[in-house]
Amino acid sequence: MGSKKVFSPHVIVVSLAIAYIYFSTLFVFLNQWFGLRSSPGIIHAFLFTALALLCVCNYARAMFTDPGRVPPSFAPDIEDPHHPIHEIKRKGGDLRYCKKCRLYKPPRSHHCRVCKRCVLRMDHHCVWMNNCVGHANYKVFFVFVAYALLACLYSLILLVGSLTVDTQQSKGSYRSVYIISGLLLIPLSMALGVFLGWHIYLTLQNKTTIEYYEGVRAMLVAEQGGNVYSHPYDLGVYENLITVLGPNILCWFCPVSSYIGSGLRFRTAYDRRTTVTTITTTS
């Protein structure tokens, strides 16, 4: 990312929010409901701490991992029989070329105006991480959002539970903590829930956010021409999950970037059809 500052104001806000939710959950909600020295309190403290650590680890990995950059030597091989599908410009039909980076664009890559370079399999630029979400860090970003939602819901449950047990104490010295936490956790849980649902939808279809909106335009153009548009990188639900989250199912929710390939080429539905045709012919 060059000399770009990692800890932007947005990253600081996220870090402070994580710290506030963690400490208020343990030392206010959990302590008021069960007590930190009780058996249920210790169990919940351990579970919430583990969830918070997984959330922080994935956030850090997503923030510090380079999403993938185009090698200076990259050039599309239009005569390669193993990769016959190439992305071209909508206007002119030429191979995609970035005039700012002065490099050919691999499939699914796009130029980020914030990072000032092309990013492999770019999904979007996330200001809350001060980093692009792309080929090498999409998986840990996806898992971070999932863990963040679980942590917020867990904290909300402990908040409500502590209110039902000891309402007098909550109206006393911890009143401001309960109010601030409620105002933070409720909208944050809703936003994370919608965001996670959106990325689950994209993952199941092996799309990026950019490809979704490009697909909408392509679908409209195809319908006007009497054709049917299909996303070329949709390999089926299971293959899509493997492609995005990695080949090892046991590591899907671990803070590791188990992406497949270099990010310069991707399997397409046309590759599968070609393979099936070849097998049928030879048999």
Phi-psi region of 236 (alpha: psi -120 to 50; beta: other; left: phi over 0): left
CA–CA distances in Å: residue 9 to residues 12, 51, 128, 164: 5, 25, 9, 36
Q: Is 118 an annotated catalytic residue?
A: no
- Joined together, the tokens standing for residue 103 give 């490099």
Closest by CA to 243, choosing from 108, 70, 77, is 108
Residue 123 main-chain phi, psi, to 5 deg: -100, -55
Q: Of how many residues is the chain composed?
A: 283
Written as one letter, the residue type at 188 is L
Catalytic residue among 118, 126, 132, 152: 126
Return the half-sphere exposure (C-beta side, CA atoms, 13 A cut-off) of residue 108.
27
Q: How many CB atoms neighbour CB 215 within 10 A?
A: 19
How far is C-alpha 19 from the chain's CA centre? Answer: 21
Active site residues: 126
